[in-house]
Amino acid sequence: MINSRHDTIISEIVVPCIVINNSNIHESKIPPACGGLGGKVLQSKTVNELQPGIQIFDLDNNALPIKQSKSEHYNGIVMEITLDKSNQIHYLLPENLVLCQRKTTKLSPTGHWDDIPAHHFQKARQLRQQTTPPEKRLWQYLRSKQLGIKFRSQHPINRYIVDFYARKAGLVVEVDGKMAHTYPGQVKHDRERDKFMEGLGLKVLRFSASDVMSNIEGVISEIEYHTQEAVLDNFTSGQWRYAKNIQAGDKIFIEKNLNLCKVIAVQEVEMDCDVTILELDGGDNFISDCFVFHI
């Protein structure tokens, strides 16, 4: 069964695509066996020109059929991204997921477990046996890849042990008890700890114990949202990132050749423009003339 997926894209973005060429039935066409596309022609079209029957490409060079496209008017915030390639400026919707260079490749200077204090492993095992009711409740939703990626509980990262960690998304989830995490000293410790994690390229989410117990649906929804910024299984140097989370200095994979390009500047701007809701049959990504989009 083919799964239908969709995303909303600014309409002016250009996409390489395959179209059926019926303009001249006597036109000579190179057959596929000789390196051609047979009765099909490779073109470039803006997103709003894509119609059912046209095919676009994913990272594995598979041709994905357009199921439906619908143009709408948009007035709101967009991300203006300047790339270190002749100072090119591009615009993305804040919720667009695009392929960037992976932020976290190792969690210690050498990338080995021996950078973690030896006693941390025993301490982590003990903490797993002493989890609080909020931690137990949250773990019931995170374990066994229920959100699509693997989480580990009480996981050592350098000199710290975090409540939950998803390596594929570079995501740390902490549950803060009402008493322990409100003292000034503990608040300062938490900030230093978060800063350390962020220095490793990790995203840290903190939830209060009361939120976990009274609003587990909201907590899971927030965590699931951030798990979308995951490393690709077949392209482990790349990681999806929401456009609104891209920062100057990040590197983005661009064009069909997946060249790495540095981001010079990012800013939010108000824009009045057309967007296209693009629905595909199968696949979870597609390549434009600039960015690679996740859908």
Q: 72-87: per-residue pLDDT in tens?
A: 999 999 999 999 986 7
Sorted by where each begins, the domain ranges of the chain are 4-103+250-294, 113-232
Q: 141-193: per-residue pLDDT in tens?
A: 999 999 999 999 999 998 899 999 999 999 999 999 876 556 667 788 899 99
Nearest C-alpha neighbor of 293 from the set 234, 230, 224, 240? 240
Pick among 3.40.50.1580, 3.40.718.10, 2.170.16.10, 3.40.50.300: CATH of 4-103+250-294: 2.170.16.10
Helical segments of the chain, H only: 119-129, 133-142, 184-199, 209-214, 216-227
CATH homologous superfamily, domain 113-232: VSR Endonuclease (3.40.960.10)
Predicted TM-score of the model (pTM): 0.88
Nearest C-alpha neighbor of 275 from the set 99, 98, 43, 94? 94
Determine contact, residues 186/180, Cβ cutoff 8 Å: yes
Q: Which residues pair with 71 in a beta bridge?
A: 276
Determine contact, residues 59/255, Cβ cutoff 8 Å: no
Distance CA 45, CA 158 (A): 48
